[in-house]
Amino acid sequence: MKSTIARSWWWKITALVLLFYTYYEGFLGEVPRMPILNETIRNLYFHVTMWMAMLVLMICNAFYGIIYLNKSDLHFDLVAEESGRMAMIFGIAGLITGMVWANYTWGAPWVNDPQLNGTAASLLVYAAYFILRNALPDSTKRARLAAVYGIFAFVMMIVFIMVLPKMSDSLHPGKGGNPGFNKYDLDANMRMVFYPAVIGWTLLGVWMMSLRVRFRKMELKNEDQQ
Amino acid sequence: MKVVLKQYFHLVNHELRLEFNNQHALMSLLVYSLATIFIAYISYRQSLDPITWNALFWIIMLFAATNAIARSFIQESKGLQLFHYTFMNPSVVILAKTTYNVLLLSFLGVINLVAFSLFFSLDINDFGQFILGLLLGSFGLSAVLTLVSGIVSKAHNQSALVAILGFPLLFPLLITIIKFSGNAIRGVEWTLNQPNFFLLIALNSIIVALSFLLFPYLWRD
């Protein structure tokens, strides 16, 4: 991330193209008619993809935490912090798109569902992560403690998001006998939009994160000069 | 290996002796738990259905654990800490602290269970399974909170941070443990409760492994 890839333009163009394709096909493309879901199935491209982007940014956060602990270079801490921030933003976006959707399909914006609880928990974890960061004035110590907490939290969240929902029924489409878009009935048409959408949103998240990192670096430089 | 074991037993022994020499700390933990249970009792003033009973019991356990373990790195003097971190392996330090906190919280858990059953009577259909759940739950709670209090001890000991940082990490553990002990109260067959049991074992092992790996990075000042 340090220099060349973050600065190069090709993946940013890819992100824009893929997102344009997502919006175009997402609103105008063919989707299967399903009971209960109806046209809201299009939310797959705008809601589920948020989780994927959030997950990738969470992985970035833990990964750069590990790298920081090994290399002790504050640049990696900055990347980890900004990944955490972006993960939170995508988490909130996913929660809002999900709540709007749930209001029309389940009849309530919040229901007791393992996936919803998992998201609420991850948001709380990242809120705690930033509280920890704010409590520490010294930058190297802050980086070290935040990395330790971030790695630990990431593993716990993976258990919460990936393992626990598999052990109980969910209201989510395709689970617990609900009609939906699991791997058996997600049709080829939708897949052609879904996978590019995942990649597009993820790239957008990484792009936003790398911009934040550059901005923060300029801020730090400015402080040093004054 | 022998040295490591020696250090480990020395540290556990040290913690236990510290506790016995300073009995009013243990007393204050007991009084805290009993007072919480009594508050629950005067708030409800009736017998609880099994689901509420289970949830309330574990919430009280969570608060007792936070209160008990938040102080585990704070009570030591600076000199003693320096001594430990100069001559001991940091991974051994965290394992010893975790062991001691597991013992402490299991003890508190049993006392809590006795007091809680006294105020809120409930037929636990499979008592053996419930006790197993209590021990596994205490283990997980104390292992997570020990690492968190290790982190917080470096953050100028702001003890409120232990709850803020610890609670979100405990969600997966609490969900599983409440499911497990709920099944024990209903008295379902062991085969049905087995997945939860293995998940708890796996979670506890992951937590201990992570503390073992991550704790040394906290002591690099």
Domain boundaries, given as residue ranges, for chain A = 25-225
B217 CA to chain A: closest CA distance, Å? 7
- Which candidate, A219, A218, A213, A223, places its Cα nearest to that of A85? A213
Judge: B214–A160 Cβ closer than 8 Å, yes or no. Answer: no
Kindly give the interhelix angle for A114-135 and A139-158, rounded to the nearest 10 degrees. Answer: 170
Mind listing the pLDDT tens digit for each residue in A47-98? 888 888 998 999 999 999 999 999 888 899 999 999 999 999 999 998 888 8
Runs of H (alpha helix) within B120-189: 127-153, 160-186
Helices A49-71 and A139-158: angle between axes, nearest 10 degrees = 140
A148 to B151: CB separation less than 8 angstroms, yes or no: yes
A107: number of Cβ within 10 Å:
8
* DSSP at A166: G
Count how many domains chain B has: 1
Angstrom distance (rounded) from CA B221 to CA B219: 6
Inspect the interface and report whether the beta carbons of A164 and B175 lie closer than 8 Å. Answer: yes
Q: If contacts are CB pairs under 8 Å, which of residues 153-192 in chain A contact chain B?
A: 153, 155-156, 159-160, 163-164, 167
For A107, B100, B112, B136, the CA distances from B166, given in Å and listed in that order, are 33, 18, 21, 17
Residues within 8 A of B (CB atoms), A 59-98 only:
69
The answer to whether the CB of A85 falls within 8 A of the CB of A7 is no
Those of residues 126-145 in A touching chain B at CB distance below 8 A are 127-128, 131-132, 135-136, 141, 144-145
CB atoms within 10 A of CB B89: 15
CB neighbourhood size of A83 (10 A): 29
- Which is more confidently placed, A213 or A110? A213
Contact assignment for A128 to B164 by CB distance below 8 Å: yes
CA distance B80 to chain A (A): 21
Calculate mean pLDDT across residues B71-90. Answer: 76
At A168, is the secondary structure helix, strand, or coil?
coil
Q: State pLDDT tens for residues B39-55.
A: 999 998 888 888 999 99
Inter-chain contact B155–A132, Cβ cutoff 8 Å?
yes
Q: What is the rounded radius of gyration, in angstroms, for the C-alpha atoms of chain A?
A: 19
Could you identify the residue written with the tokens 């906190």?
Answer: B101
A31 versus B10: the higher-pLDDT residue is B10
A147 vs B contacts (CB less than 8 Å):
217
Contacts of A120 (CB under 8 A, 6+ apart): A95
Location of structure tokens 């049993």: B110
Among candidates B148, B154, B175 on the partner chain, residue whose Cβ is nearest the Cβ of A141: B154
DSSP of A49-75, one letter per residue? HHHHHHHHHHHHHHHHHHHHHHH--HH
**What is the span of the domain harbouring residue B90?**
2-218
- Name the residue among A169, A176, A192, A173 with its Cα closest to residue A41: A173
What single-letter amino acid sits at B74?
I
CB atoms B169 and A156 under 8 Å: yes
Question: In the 3-class helix/strand/coil scheme, how is A89-138 assigned residue by residue?
Answer: HHHHHHHHHHHHHHHHHCCCCCCCCHHHHHHHHHHHHHHHHHHHHHHCCC
Q: Which residue of B has its CA nearest to A123?
A: B168
Which chain A residues are closer than 8 Å to B168 by Cβ?
A: 121, 124-125, 127-128, 153
pLDDT for the residue numbered A184 = 44
Q: By CA distance, what is B164's nearest residue in A? A: A128
How many angstroms separate the CA of residue A64 from the nearest CA in chain B?
14
pLDDT digits (tens, 9 = 90+) for A1-10: 455 777 788 8
Stated pTM of the model: 0.86
Confidence at B64, pLDDT banded by 50, 70, 90: very high
Mean pLDDT of A134-157: 90
Does the CB of B154 have a partner CB in chain A at under 8 Å?
yes
**Predicted ipTM of the assembly:** 0.88
Chain B residue numbers touching A159 (CB-CB < 8 A): 172, 203, 206
Top residue of A117, A141, A151, A155 to mutate, by most chain B CBs within 10 Å, is: A155
User: For position A1, what pLDDT does the model report?
Assistant: 47
State the pLDDT at residue B80.
75
User: Is residue A168's pLDDT more than 50?
Assistant: yes
* Total length of chain B: 221
